Amino acid sequence: MTSLDHKAEASAASAGLAASMVGEGVAADALSALLARRSAWPLAEPGPTDAALARILDAAACAPDHAGLRPWQFQLVRGAARHELLRQVLAQPQAQVPEVRELHGKYTAKLTTAPVVIVLAARIVPHPKAPEFEQLLTCGAAVMNMLNAAHLLGYAGFWSSTPEPLDGLLRSVMGFAPQDHMLGLLNLGTPVNPPSRQPRPVRATYAREWPPSAHSI
């Protein structure tokens, strides 16, 4: 091997190390950003752009999906459509009983506060290798991916539940299938208030090494 060969080899090794360090730096920056994610409420304009929404929805499809069933089913509601959805929900006969009328204000906040509201459902189908709980977990992972993607794109999210009778009202108005399990609402937009400073749980409270040893995670 000539001296030029040695120099070329050394240069290539140096370039590889530099690229590796850059890659590690990018990964560290991305992880730091991800660890800063916080749920936020209320959310205001601006909401995600069409391009940002497309990427957020694409992130859902990165969820682990054992049997390739893609059980997540989402419907996006934006702009004036949010108020139309609310109008139709509140016009349902089930929404007229006194105990539900008391919830109309809460339903208004849930469906019209954030610029983008994604109504979430899991379409469960019988499968020999993917029981119902796995399909529900897959949908949860898809929603978490969307929350993380929204955060990395500069927006915030808030995942809220839709307890009955709101579950049934949304199912009826929006045409979800009978086998769909309603999973709540994913609200997306810009935080009105500073992010929460509530401390995260210490990892030792939820993770441990087996068999037990002096080594700590």
**Residue 38 labeled ligand binder:** yes
- Long-range contacts: 53-59, Cβ < 8 Å, 24+? 53/116, 53/188, 55/149, 55/153, 56/146, 56/149, 56/150, 56/153, 56/188, 57/146, 58/149, 59/145, 59/146, 59/148, 59/149
Domains of the chain: 43-191 (3.40.109.10)
**Residue 39 labeled ligand binder:** yes
Tokens of 175: 């045409």
**Residue 37 labeled ligand binder:** yes
**Residue 161 labeled ligand binder:** yes
What is the chain's pLDDT, residue by residue, as a tens digit (217 residues)?
555 454 445 444 444 444 454 567 888 999 999 999 999 999 999 999 999 999 999 999 999 998 999 999 999 999 999 999 999 999 999 999 999 999 999 999 999 999 999 999 999 999 999 999 999 999 999 999 999 999 999 999 999 999 999 999 999 999 999 889 999 999 999 999 998 889 999 999 999 999 887 777 7
Q: Which residues contact 148 (CB under 8 A, 6 or more apart)?
A: 34, 37, 59
